[in-house]
Amino acid sequence: MELLTTNNVWMMICTALVFFMHAGFAFLEIGLTRQKNTINILFKNIFIITAGLLLYYLVGFNLMYPGEFNGYLGSIVPGIAPPENGMTPEYADGGYTWWTDFLFQGMFAATAATIVSGAVAERIKIGPFMIFTVIYVGLIYPIAGSWKWGGGFLDELGFYDFAGSTLVHSVGGWAALVAVCLLGPRIGKFKDGKPQAIPGHNIPLATAGVLILWLGWFGFNGGSVLSADPELTSITLVTTCLAAAAGGIVAALVSFLKFKNLDLTMFLNGILGGLVGITAGADVMTPESAILIGAIAGALIVFAVSFIDRLRLDDPVGAIAVHLVCGMWGTLAVGIFSTNPDHNFMAQLTGVAAYAAICVVSAFLIIFTLKKLVGIRVSEKEELEGLDAHEHGMDAYADFRMNEH
């Protein structure tokens, strides 16, 4: 029982760290966008975590971990009730209790929609975004998650994704790509076909957001060991941090060589790219492999951001480059660098393709339907004047200056 208590406390700490990541996402997103849309972005982020937890309780947890099922789709069973062994060492090999299991996995669920929030920032209507979040987090994410983590057909095939490079990050990344395509770029982003910089209003806050996310990844990956196993948790945190560091350094270096300037935002996204890249195999990598995976992710960030611009797609925070491109890379890297001989590249490629299919199709159906029924984009006037004033009637930074006499 003492071991269960130790494991459970570790998992609860990791749950809190993953929850704290939502503060990091919020800071990063508002820091890289304009002041006039700050309330709107914060509202979306708060909605995602609150609605996400409730949806995961109502349908998501049972749908994602259905027990015996056909490997593709479980049944919707509302609410959750712990099994008889849910609070004992017999549950989950004594790694944690049933309730801790629910809460830890629930924190992951909301992250997929948070990724989309950043990509569509500054021009999406709040109502349709909330509807999309409810459907995507409530149904699509847990169904997709069941294919691997719920013991579905990809798990039987040998596909491996330790903490969610694909199951969390690519699931959000594919939806972000679809949403950006259907939504169109912000006014002024492209002039004569060439991308124009739209600077974020608070880069110090964005930097704080990335550091918070890095800290949160200690729980994201460390908790995915699903116990306080000293050897596995230690190597997992080491590979996680080395990949993050390598991703940041290489992104900054490649960006300097390509653009001849030391771009802090590219440095920050390189760190995140390294974190996303190592997430699929953090427990089965050597430190040297982790550095290489992170370094390649950092380089991919720079080229992916440029490529996305060339496609005339507007992603204000670089979410597609970070979460989709590096998520796919990290998943495939398991088939190349894993220390486990059972892991193979074809199984990883099959998993990437399967998640691309369900995410692209489902996201397109949801967002395209909303676009036709109610519209997904704010008016030109609302976009130019800011979503805070028009959708929320609030200002993020109230003006306290004394009236001049």
User: Is position 21 within any domain?
Assistant: yes
Question: At residue 93, what is the residue type?
Answer: D
User: Is position 91 within any domain?
Assistant: yes
Residue 228: predicted pLDDT: 97
User: Is position 402 within any domain?
Assistant: no
Which DSSP state fits 148? T
Which residues neighbour 352 within 8 Å (Cβ) at sequence distance 6 or greater?
166, 170, 328, 331, 332
Report the chain's mean pLDDT, rounded to a whole number.
95
C-alpha span between 320 and 173 (Å, rounded): 5
Name the nearest CA neighbour of 318 among 328, 310, 332, 308.
Answer: 308
C-alpha span between 301 and 269 (Å, rounded): 7
Residue 110: predicted pLDDT: 83
C-alpha span between 261 and 196 (Å, rounded): 16
Expressed in angstroms, the distance from the first to the final Cα of the chain is 71
Does residue 400 register a pLDDT over 70? no
Residue 387 tokens read as 């979503």
CB 98 within 8 A of CB 154: no
pTM for this entry: 0.96
CATH code at 18? 1.10.3430.10
Q: What is the pLDDT of residues 39-79, one digit of tens each?
A: 999 999 999 999 999 999 999 999 999 988 999 999 888 99
Residue 182 tokens read as 């259907």
Q: List residues bridging with 195 in a β-sheet.
A: 190
User: Is position 6 within any domain?
Assistant: yes
Name the nearest CA neighbour of 319 among 183, 211, 179, 203.
Answer: 179
Of residues 404 and 305, more confidently modeled: 305
Q: What is the pLDDT of residues 269-283, one digit of tens each?
A: 999 999 999 999 999
Q: What angle do CA 308, 312, 318 make, to 5 degrees?
A: 40
C-alpha span between 173 and 111 (Å, rounded): 11
**Four-residue CA torsion sign, 306, 309, 311, 314:** positive
Rg, C-alpha atoms of the chain:
21
Residue 402: predicted pLDDT: 43
Residue 282, classed as helix, strand or coil, is coil
pLDDT band of residue 192 (cuts 50, 70, 90) is confident
Does residue 404 register a pLDDT over 80? no
User: Is position 403 within any domain?
Assistant: no
User: Is position 53 within any domain?
Assistant: yes
Residue 120: φ, ψ to 5°: -100, 10
Q: Whole domain around residue 193: which residue ranges?
A: 2-392
Residue 170 tokens read as 């690519």
Categorise residue 6: left if φ over 0, alpha if ψ from -120 to 50, beta otherwise.
alpha
Q: What is the pLDDT of residues 84-97, one digit of tens each?
A: 999 999 999 999 99
- In the predicted model, what is the mean pLDDT of residues 239-261? 97
- How many structural domains does the chain have? 1
C-alpha span between 144 and 88 (Å, rounded): 29
Residue 185 tokens read as 């770029």
User: Is position 89 within any domain?
Assistant: yes
User: Is position 336 within any domain?
Assistant: yes
Residue 228, classed as helix, strand or coil, is coil
